[in-house]
Amino acid sequence: MAILRRFTLLCALVHMCVTTEYVLNNKPFPKNEGFTFGTATAAYQIEGGWNEDGKGESMWDRFTHLFPEKIMDKSNGDIACDTYHKYKEDIEILKDLGVTHHRFSISWPRILPNGLVNHINQKGIDFYKNFIKLLKENNIEPVVTLSHWDIPEILQEQGGFQNYNFPDWFSNYSRICFENFGDDVKYWITFNEPTIQCTGYGQNFYIPFVAPFAPGYNLTTVGGEYVCMHNLIRSHAAAYHLYQKEFKARQNGKLTIANAACRCYPASDSREDIEAADRCMQFSLGWVLHPIYYGDYPEVMKERIDYRSKIQGYPESRLPKFTLAERQLIRKTSDYVAINAYYTTYAKSTPEKEINDISPYSDAKLTVTFAEGLGNTDGMGDLLLWAHNEYGKPDIFITENGLGLETASLEDDDRLTFLKYSLSHFRDAMDAGVNLLGYTVWSLMDNFEWFIGYNTKYGIYQVDFNSPNRTRVARKSAEWYKQFIQTPCVHLNCTL
């Protein structure tokens, strides 16, 4: 999701100043009732050790090695933060911060180098076992993502998410994870940001161009992004049911999927823009969550894509259809809603595009603009309320929230302010009735930011990528987060 910032917001964010009239919430978060604060990372972005100890190749290994020019600084995640060797140091940092959970992902090819379960890499299993054990010893709850974009290359060569067999591959891999780590994991996330993952096979209405995202396919004319999502949702549901059947009784964990989400407001009070804002929500968050809560894609997506496909001469809609059996299987496969929150947007309705314009962008029939600077935090509470109302008051977990900056400076006041205001809006949403379980900063430390490489920094810890030691140093935002977790209130004068 954060990709767009690159193209729209950079200047506005770098020298962000507080102009809003908004007053910070003065109530503490209910830490004593179990509200949890944490940080997040993802395997390919930090681990390094890309071919060590029997790890297989991931699609991001292949993509960055084959097309270095597609990464802005021509870098890759071969070493990244070297967490594969430095994880104990990372856990020391987490301990010092005082977080009560940490979200990280498992590299599927580190565990299953062939993608399939015929060959299990014990050293990969041991790495994550040790990692989880150390977290638990320090009273840090692991929140585990099974797949944060780095699927095994060998499965990618069979089409990846275009392959109808993906649910079998994924649930077999999930079983290995549940068996080996499940006794210590209470929060599972199957996939990270499906709407962004699927841009690797085409486009997205938020990203109306072919993004340099692995595997880098341009399958929009055959509905590649929609097919990807279809198989991804089927895979999520397969893993969910597997867990319920074989592990839930003993392990009692909760499963969901993590979503890139923005609150889309109408750009004006015209009926067209109000409807466009609704389409914007449904073509983004609804694309994933409507099937998972109600068993099918949102009506407005079906209507629009079916209509465009028909006038474009396709025999079938570019949006695949779930069978009745699939609809029953995919509905109610979420124990909580996981949201990665970065932006607030404004949707404007556009005229119907030319018939030969085949894209999710013309399907959605709208344009989005992003709020500027701190304005991006304005819709964060409303975003949670939207999900609360749309999906029957589910528990919600913020699984990512953060700000990318071009500077490596330790004085990251802009980030600190962004985190503080986001938290305040989330606390407002709790006042309005949202059941928020926890909050997670993206990211614990600077890392490989996908096609951007290393020049955009998200870390509350700075990482020196020029040093073989990958030295980590706390930024001002880390010091602030550490203090905040103790209170935990964003306002100077907190009331109970």
Part of the chain binding ligand BG6 (CB under 6 A), chosen from 15-23, 283-291, 300-308, 448-456: 448-456
404 binds ligand BG6 (CB under 6 A): yes
Q: Which residues pair with 482 in a beta bridge?
A: none
Helical residues (DSSP H) of 247-294, grouped into ranges: 248-251, 271-294
Return the residue of 9, 42, 80, 261 that touches ligand BG6, per CB under 6 A: 42
Q: Exactly one of 47, 61, 153, 193 binds ligand BG6 (CB under 6 A); which one?
A: 193
CB of 285 to ligand BG6, least distance (A): 14
Cβ proximity of 378 and 299 under 8 Å: no
Closer CB to ligand BG6, residue 202 or residue 404?
Answer: 404
3-state secondary structure of 22: coil
Q: Tell me which residue of 444, 472, 296, 425 sits closest to 27, measured CA to CA.
A: 425
Q: Among 400, 412, 414, 446, which residue sits at the site for ligand BG6 (rule: CB under 6 A)?
A: 400
Rounded least distance, CB 402 to ligand BG6, Å: 7
Which structure tokens are listed for 339? 């949201």
- Please tell me which residue in 57, 193, 225, 326 is annotated as part of the active site: 193
Among 412, 414, 428, 449, binds ligand BG6 (CB under 6 A): 449
58: tokens are: 């991931």
Residue 4 DSSP one-character state = H
What six digits make up the tokens of 337? Answer: 């809603």
Is 193 annotated as catalytic?
Answer: yes
SS3 132: helix
Nearer to ligand BG6, 42 or 337 (CB): 42
The C-alpha angle 172, 199, 50, rounded to 5 degrees, equals 55
Q: Which range in 30-38, 66-74, 350-358, 450-458 contacts ligand BG6 by CB under 6 A?
A: 450-458
CA distance 298 to 283: 8
Ramachandran bin of 339, using left for φ above 0, alpha for ψ from -120 to 50, beta for the remaining angles: beta
Closest CB to ligand BG6 among 340 and 462? 340
C-alpha radius of gyration, the chain, whole number: 21
State which of residues 456, 465, 472, 488 lies at the interface with ligand BG6 (CB under 6 A).
456
* Minimal CB distance residue for ligand BG6: 2
261-272: burial string, b at 16+ Cβ within 10 Å, e else: bbbbbbbeeeeb
Q: State yes or no: residue 442 binds ligand BG6 (CB under 6 A).
A: yes
Minimum CB separation from ligand BG6 for residue 448, in Å? 8
| β-sheet bridge partners, residue 101 | 38, 141
400 is catalytic: yes
- CB of 6 vs ligand BG6, minimal distance in Å: 7
Subset of residues 235 to 294 that bind ligand BG6, contact rule: CB under 6 A: 260
Q: What does the binding site for ligand BG6 look like in residue numbers (CB under 6 A)?
A: 1-3, 42, 45, 192-193, 196, 260, 340, 400, 404, 442, 449-450, 452, 456, 458
Query: Active-site residues: which are they?
Result: 193, 400
